[in-house]
Chain A
Amino acid sequence: MNTAFIGRAQPRVEDARLLKGQGVYVDDLHLDGMLHAAIVRSPFAHGKVLSIDTDEASAMPGVVAIYTADEIRSVRPDGAVPRIPIRLAPLPELDAFRQHVIAVDRVRFVGEALAIVVAETAAQAEDAADMVYADIDALPSVADWRSAAEGHTALFEAAGNVAKRYVASKGQVEYVQGEYRRRATLKVQRHSALTMETRGLVADWDAMQQRMTVYGAAKVPYFTRDHVADMMGLPRERVTMIELNVGGGFGVRGEFYSEDFLVPFASRQLGKPVKWIEDRRENLLSSNHSREMECDIEIVCARNGRVLALQAEVAVDAGAYMRTSAPAPSRNVAQFMSGPYDIEHVQVVSTAYLTNKTPIGTYRGPGRYEADFFRERMFDMAARDLGIDPTEFRRINLVKAHQMPYTLPSVTGPDRHEDLDSGDYQITLDHCLREIGWAQKQSLQGQLIDGLYHGLAVGCFIEGGAAGGKETARFDAHPDGMLDLYVGSANVGQGLVTILTQIAAETLAMPLSRIRVHHGSTTHLAEGFGSFHSRSTVMGGSAVLTVAEQLKALVRARAARHLACAEEAVSVGDELVCSYEGRTVTLAELAKEPLSVTGEFPSHVHTYSYGAAAAHVTVDPRTGRVSVLDYFTVEDVGRIINPLTATGQLVGASAQGLGGALLEHIAYDSDGQLITATLADYLLPTATDFPVLRAHVLENSPSPHNPLGAKGAGEGGTVPAGGVIANAISAALSSLGVEALALPLTPPAVWQLIQHAQQQTSSCSGT
């Protein structure tokens, strides 16, 4: 039997069911006696809640209950409304900025939950929600980071508008002298993950058993379980989170939101199952936003193009509260500003400002997408100023293989040493240039052909992975020869089942069909972590590998008893068939007594995948329209478990990165009102926008920190896209003097850049 499953282009085992429409998403769930919830959300960006009148809504048909902060307070032992926990990089000083699960006296963003209405049907709940009348005394809105910094209006009177200032540093940037210096201000717009399936939950309180079951968990079910249990005053083992099929995660789904408390709360109060499914408007309003940053950056270089120092101040528009994953983007943009490059002196100060907008969280490549845009744009401007080829500029500044492990700038809060683990970054750059046809296409650079300007750009990136400390796995063998594999990881659409089955099958020399993977639900294991920070293959996969080895040892020991021989005399063959001197015993026979093993893989070291991306674009100067003729990404992921899923992740991530570069924009007006809450306003890439997206994955540099050698992958494709596209557009329009300094580069934005550059030129020639 060919047991080389790792590295095989195995089609996803998940897909047959999903493609036949047999997937079960949370809205597919219908429980007996189930009620439906709708959330009443604040129409004001900032205001004092004077009263909430629920009388008229309560009298409407089908309405069963309406809960506001008052009702929640009244049943809580401490009389307080719980607040959403911070999951990533929590610090005591961030506590002041945590959001109540339901507004208490004050609202700080449009969409903040004011009440939950429960009715017999979803339509009745929504109609009644519109009749809940909250009397809110509007306060001035802090609509951007600048007004937060000015501080005329405070979101939190005692704590101010600055949640946290992160400082990443290395060397002594203030003493660096260089022949070349350039400074610029760059901006990335607010945008975020848009999941095809909106968020939703079904909570089912079993009063007899005193047990809460919540369907619709994703990403980090154990964390959410622990906090739901604590907030409800239940032992953790009495709360069960069940993961169903998940229609897109990308960082935003599965974090702890207001509804993760409110829906179970309503179910427990009423003793009935309660379903809540958000619509698209709510989804754009209340799922975590991300990416909105402004960066004042300075680069110092030697004449030969060697970057001597990078210094930046980043203002992060963090929205109204610090929720679960809010610290990550601000922290990452500081730590990863230098990316894959060897820069001796780095200082980045990143400040998370609170504004009256939806709170931010992590979105695929958090902080890294922004950092890459800032850095790679500066690199292209510097290379052009210095007359150095942009590919050569990157080549001479990349971290070299012999420098590994390479220490990144240290960042304050929480402090932690961080090394790039392994790799030869030059290889991916060369690979990328070859694939995009850089040498052949050089003659097109900046040329106007048939009315379109052509531009080429390349950028390099790193992708961190494997956070979370450890992951757990369990194997149960059965008398029918099947193996059940239980993992703490969650399936957010990344092909988790396929990957983990491949790893288990190879380690145990077992056909894929004999392994059943169970994931994402807290019933399987006492503890687990989940899927974030590109960790499921590295941490979950290593846990499977580790526990599979433990299973083999257990099987060997039990076989020795059956075969009446010493353990070391047993030979364990394919499919865990054990033999000694011509006698054999199968796994099925050994599993007649319970055969189960649980174990974990611990690691506190992050992995760093790395790669390069390149684009060939055209720009129509009459309309500002950008066409992406070719876009290629290559990433070395340490060890490829499945080239199909790894490549698919890279292509999908590229599409999201390009969406952020060219289309997607969560816009607010100057009063903090969200004005893009439909998909007619918030533009997503469609199949026709980027017809040529290509990707390769490599495995030249295994991670030294896990038995698989795998590195986290799946987010990397988004990371370089903003910088590459902005550089390609700027290269295309270089003869006009256009420098793209802000995303997204929509047709109107590009058109205005062209107009502005032409006015500058004509006013210069006029004087």
Chain B
Amino acid sequence: MQLSSQEIISLPQDVVWQALNDAAVLQQCIPGCEELIKQDDSHYTVKLVAAVGPVKMRMQGGLEITQSDPPNGYQLQFEGKGGAAGFAKGQASVRLTAQTPDTTLLAYEVQAQIGGKLAQVGARLIDSVAAKNAADFFESFKRVVQAPPLSEAGTAQPAGTSPVDGHANTSAAPQTRSQAVWWLVAGVSAAAAALYFIVGG
């Protein structure tokens, strides 16, 4: 799937840039994210658990920033494996442009491939769901970034979302519409969108 869009964020460009490189911020914005660890300047590892309709996934994987151009943007590659349930991989690029000293335009493009149950059950839904939820993600992102001071990672949950219960088993239990699987990282909600599903929603 492919997705490209843009968002206006009411913060200076360098603040947005820092947030996009702050693992703690990103982890808060990704429901179900158990762990987001910055390995070095360009590598992150991620673990998350998500239940998506009938598809339950425990994914682990990594993300590599391939072309960092502070504070104007970066490109990244991501790959996550969820065992028999499926996998996702792809590339994303993010560009930041200062519109005014206090507002930043964030433009992103994502290309992603999905496999396993994700593709079998979700292929029909991915484009529309990803687009809708990219927008939702930015709401959380803005809320977290624009609400100083930042709390410790993991203690602040973006309002309006509920963490996915990592141990849910029959958890097709209807959750809120923001039941989501965000893989992605680097804050680039774009890539997250690729991994986000609502099944039966």
Contact = CB atoms under 8 A, between A and B. Distances in A.
Interface of A: 40-45, 110, 114, 123, 127, 129-135, 281, 284-285, 669, 671, 673-678, 680-681
B123 A680 contact: no
A493 to B, nearest CB: 27
A130 B113 CA distance: 20
A130 B81 CA distance: 12
B58 A131 contact: yes
Contacts of A131: 58, 83
B119 A129 contact: no
A110 B82 CA distance: 14
Nearest to B85: A130
Contacts of A135: 81
Q: How large is the interface on B (under 10, 10 to 19, 20 to 34, 35 or more residues)?
A: 20 to 34
B66 to A, nearest CB: 19
A630 to B, nearest CB: 33
B87 interface: yes
Nearest to A39: B84
Best-buried of A44, A45, A114, A134 by chain B (most CB within 10 Å): A44
Looking at chain B's contact residues, the main secondary structure is mixed
Interface string B78-118: 00011111110000000000000000000000000111110
Contacts of A678: 120-121, 124
Contacts of A114: 84
B83 A130 contact: yes
B120 A675 contact: yes
A681 B113 contact: no
A671 B89 CA distance: 12
A43 B86 contact: yes
B87 A281 contact: no
Interface of B: 56-58, 81-87, 113-117, 119-121, 123-124, 169-170
A498 B169 CA distance: 47
Contact of B120 (A127, A129, A133, A677): A677
18 contacts: A40-B84, A43-B83, A44-B87, A110-B115, A110-B116, A114-B84, A123-B169, A130-B58, A130-B85, A131-B58, A133-B84, A281-B121, A284-B120, A285-B120, A673-B113, A675-B124, A676-B123, A681-B123
Nearest to B113: A671
Given A110-B115, A131-B58, A43 B84 contact: yes
Contact of B84 (A42, A669, A677, A680): A42
Nearest to A135: B81
A133 B83 contact: yes
A131 to B, nearest CB: 7
Nearest to A136: B81
Contacts of B124: 675, 678, 680-681
A60 B145 CA distance: 39
Nearest to B83: A133
Nearest to B170: A123
Contacts of B84: 40-43, 114, 129-130, 132-134
Nearest to B116: A43
Contacts of A680: 124
Contacts of A41: 84
